[in-house]
């Protein structure tokens, strides 16, 4: 019965798996919605990517979602959003990741206009370091774009959304 309120953005006091209290809706994409949540014991803010309930019975969609979780979990780099957990609560398949307090580069350009070449180069270099790490772990992102590059408040670029990632060595 939580599906409708969650997807309509009514997330007050909603808890997933007894661990994560959903605080707010951060956004939605083609395959999932993303929410800001807090781990109830650790009091750590996280981002939770939730597979839409209508896709929970689609084995292909669930497999793709789990493939993204494995891809993110295989990577540990300061320029890649970290994965903390993957779980299922009733009809909700969800991936728990690091919450990045900031904006994606697409929004930055939309709000503030064109970046200087130096600034764009600095952000591109950070993304390249994260992509190099992913490649060394046998992963290709396949969807790098400004909307998938988050800039945190310290100026660090973090790659997110491994939904289309391809693992070379996956069985």
Q: Which residues are catalytic?
A: 143
> What are the tokens at 125?
């270099």
> Which residues, including other chains, have CB under 8 Å from residue 108's CB and lie 6 or more apart?
115, 146, 151
Q: Residue 75: phi, psi to the nearest 5?
A: -110, 135
**Residue 87 near residue 94 (C-beta atoms within 8 A):** yes
> What are the tokens at 23?
């605080």
DSSP 2-53: -HHHHHTT--TTEEETTTEEEEEEEEE-SS-EEEEEEETTT--EEEEEE--G
CB environment 25-35: b (16+ within 10 A), e (fewer): beeeeebbbbb
57 secondary structure, DSSP code: T
């Amino acid at each position: 019965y939580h599906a409708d309120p969650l997807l309509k953005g009514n997330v007050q006091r909603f808890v997933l798996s007894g661990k994560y209290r959903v605080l707010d809706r951060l956004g939605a994409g083609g395959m999932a919605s993303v929410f800001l949540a807090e781990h109830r014991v650790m009091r750590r803010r996280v981002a939770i990517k939730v597979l839409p309930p209508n896709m929970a019975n689609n084995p292909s969609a669930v497999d793709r979602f789990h493939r993204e979780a494995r891809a993110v979990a295989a990577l540990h780099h300061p320029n890649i959003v970290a994965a903390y957990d993957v779980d299922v609560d009733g009809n909700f398949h969800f991936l728990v990741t690091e919450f990045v307090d900031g904006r994606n580069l697409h929004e930055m350009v939309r709000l503030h206009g064109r970046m200087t070449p130096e600034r764009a180069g600095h952000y591109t270099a950070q993304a390249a370091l994260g992509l190099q790490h992913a490649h060394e772990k046998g992963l290709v992102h396949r969807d790098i774009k400004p909307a998938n590059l988050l800039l945190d408040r310290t100026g660090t670029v973090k790659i997110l959304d491994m939904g289309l990632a391809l693992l070379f060595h996956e069985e």
